[in-house]
Amino acid sequence: MTTEEQANAATVKDQHATAPPPETAPAAKADDSGAGGPIILFFILGLAASLIVGWVVFPKVLYSQKKQPIEFNHVLHNELVEDGCESCHFFREDGSYSGVPTLDQCIECHEEVNGEDPEEARFVNEFVANNREVPWLIYSRQPQNVFFSHAAHVKMGEMDCVTCHGHIGESESLPIYKQNRISGYSIDIWGRNISGIKRNSWDRMKMDDCADCHRQEGVNQNSVQTLRGGCFVCHH
């Protein structure tokens, strides 16, 4: 059976029972006249089972689910700080990006328990008291072989945080971190939709998404450092 026929079979899978039998069927019939039906049935069974495995089971098995070490409410914090996102996620003096806040930043307000939230108490007792950094799980961490500069995108390209990170700043709790068991990176890189369909710019952060945006925005297609095009813009 050719791939084309397989594709046809899949698109009309509900009508398979009445569809003309595939080419292999007549050959089978020649040997055993009563087996045509069961063969088609087994084909459909195999097809259905693998489609279920591929579309339903596989995505569930591929990712392990991890909770963040501490619950965090962006909305609540945003109300209390002065500079919005920049209060905690800022550019350092040398232009590098601070990313997820370190314990030192948290301690500025949370040296002791301020409120009544048990998560805050847990944070202070487990991390602040022991001077232990919170091992935050980072949804947007790109693979190690990708060079990415926040300064180039936010300062030079004047992009806003939402374009890539979505509305995480308006969240009241942190989503479950789904880690790819093979690559080790977060589901948010491929996108939560297993078929890779994206509705929003922040749904996916694969190489093609970077490339599309770079093309759309007319970004220099050559690396500034190496003056080479293609891969070397992001892969050094």
Partner 1 sequence: MKVDRRSFLAFILGGAAGTALSPLPWKVTDDISIWSQNWPWIPVPPKGEISRVRSACTLCPGGCGISVKKVDERVIKIEGLEGHPINDGGLCPLGNSAAQLLYGPSRIQTPLKKVNGRWQKIAWQDAITELAAQLRQLRADGSAHTVGWVAGSDRGTVPELFNRFLNVYGSPNFWRMPSIWDSYELSIYLMQGTRSMAGFDIANADFVLSFGSGLIEGWGSPGYMFRAKSELREAGGRMDQIEPRLSKTAAKADHWISINPGTEGALALGLAHVIIKEQRYNRNFVNGYSTGLAERFQRVIDGFPPEIASKMTGISAGTILTLARDFAAARRPLAICGRGQGLLPGSLQTFLAVHTLNALVGNINQPGGVWAVPEPDYIQWPEPEIDAVAARGLQQPRIDGAGTDRYPNARYLLHRLPEVINASAESPLQVLFIADANPTYSLPDTAAVEKAFEKIPTVVSFSSYMDETSALADMVLPNHTFLERYQDVAGATGFPKPIISLAQPAVEPRYNTRHVGDVVIQLAKELGHTIGAAFEWDDYDSCLEETLGDRWDGLIENGYWVDEAFSGAQWADAFETDSAKFEFTNNDISTLAAYEPVKAEGDEAGYPLLLVPYDSMRLNGDGQPGAPPFMIKALEDTILQGNDVLVEINPASAKQLGLSEGRFATLATPKGSAQVKIRLTQGIMPGVIAIPRGLGHTADNRFLAGKGVNYNQLSGPIDDPASGHNAAWGIRAKLS
Residues that bind partner 1 (CB under 8 A): 1, 3, 6-7, 9-10, 24, 28, 31-32, 35, 38-51, 53-55, 58-59, 62, 92, 94, 96, 98-99, 102, 143-145, 180, 182-185, 190, 194-196
CB 6 to partner 1: min, Å: 4
Identity of the residue, 39 or 219, whose beta carbon is nearer to partner 1 in the bound complex: 39
CB 20 to partner 1: min, Å: 16
Handedness of CA 17, 19, 20, 24 (dihedral sign): negative
Distance of alpha carbon 65 from alpha carbon 67, whole angstroms:
7
- Count H helices and E strands in the chain, helices first: 11, 2
Distance of alpha carbon 134 from alpha carbon 103, whole angstroms:
7
Identity of the residue, 90 or 113, whose beta carbon is nearer to partner 1 in the bound complex: 90
CB 41 to partner 1: min, Å: 8
Identity of the residue, 146 or 219, whose beta carbon is nearer to partner 1 in the bound complex: 146
- Amino acid identity, position 56: V
Identity of the residue, 25 or 121, whose beta carbon is nearer to partner 1 in the bound complex: 25
